[in-house]
Chain A
């Protein structure tokens, strides 16, 4: 049963610390998205990769967030330094180009104290 795998599932950290979230997309998918979900804003796009190349990171605070895809099986989202307002659930999703099918992981719930 193919699925998107995210780690960690939960993370509690203190303000100023570095946070790294990891995602293993479904094998064969060529697009990867990072989203942040909050009660107030819903799902917000942070970054989008196609064939491992970053195509859109306009939704990401550039000064503290970075997203990479070092190989086809791993995407990372890093926050440095973290702030309390970064507390949210971060989702990774993968799919194919030019389809409507996007498959989400279970999310990484981040709490920054």
Chain B
């Protein structure tokens, strides 16, 4: 079993839809939880970063961490065509970062 599981998609939604992206994990030692956005032929860009359970909001993006269920989510409200990218979840324990394989999202105008 992988440390971090992420549905690869692809996910296709109409513009304006609410998008929900999810990851599950198995390691209770994970302390930091991140979401990265990666456009085609670009490097991953840090989108959201949380340390504990709960919600964190930044504009149209909300990151949610449920440590008891070992489940994290990223919600995108009022999705835009510019949100079309691959979204990777990531977690840190000690010196190591563990990445999901990414979910490909397309927002259709």
Contacts and interface: CB of A to CB of B under 8 A. Distances in A.
B59 interface: no
Interface residues of B, number: 24
Contacts of A55: 95
Contacts of B97: 33, 45, 102
A100 interface: yes
Contacts, number: 50
Contacts of A107: 42-43
- The secondary-structure label for the interface of chain B is strand
Nearest to A31: B95
Interface in B11-55: 31-34, 36, 41-46, 49-51
Contacts of B44: 43, 91, 104
Interface of A: 4, 33, 42-43, 45, 48, 50, 55-56, 91, 99-107, 109
